[in-house]
Each structure stands twice: as C-alpha cells, then as structure tokens.
Amino acid sequence: MLVIAICTAATPHLANIWALYAVQFANGVGFGVWEAGNSMWLIEVWPQRIAVLFQINQFAYNFGGALSYLLTAPFIYGDSLVDVRNRTLTPDDRRLLLSMPYSINGYLQSISK
C-alpha cells in the first residue's frame, strides 16, 4: 500500500515521461500485489461469506473512484489555457495545481493500512 501511496503522490512532480512510465509501472505492480493479497486474505478469513465481501470491496473501490472527481475537479482545467482568475496557465502551473489532490490521495492511501 505504501508503494501505491508514494507513486500516487509523486506522479504530478515528474516532468520526464519515462520517469512517469516507471512510477506508474511500479504503481500497477503494487496495486496488483495488494489486490491479490487482499482477495486471498478475504477468502481465508471468511470463506462462507466471500461473495458479499467481494461485492463490498468492489463497491468501496468504485465509490472512491466516483468521489475522486470532487477532489480533483477544482484543480483540472482541461484544454483551457487560463484559470478561473483569467490567469494564463503554464505546464509548471498545472503540475503545481495537480500536486495538491495527488498528495492528498497519497496521504490517505498511506494511512489506510
């Protein structure tokens, strides 16, 4: 989980595309290991209720994905080159704006177990 949190928090700070690829690869491997371990742990601890637990697990994952929009929406401007204060955005400005939601997400992942 810590690998996923570090990779998530580091993502907006990477200016090199190959560094981003490497970090996202590590993020994917970390998430795959966590997902496989979590599934096996649930099967071993509650074998008779596994269907319900898998559904709750996937619901929580999808609920968090749906709520992530609320966290990131104030920081994403799409193709627009200006922000709400009519200020021109540079790539460095966009990177700085995105560092806040990614840092919050990384912090929440690091304390979640």
Beta strands in the chain (DSSP E): none
Q: Chain-wide mean pLDDT for the chain?
A: 84
- Residue 79 clears pLDDT 70, i.e. is over it: no
CB 49 within 8 A of CB 41: no
Residues in a beta bridge with 77: none
The predicted structure's pLDDT at residue 77: 72
Q: At what angle do helices 17-45 and 50-72 cross, to 10 degrees?
A: 150
pTM above 0.75, yes or no: no
Identity of residue 88: T
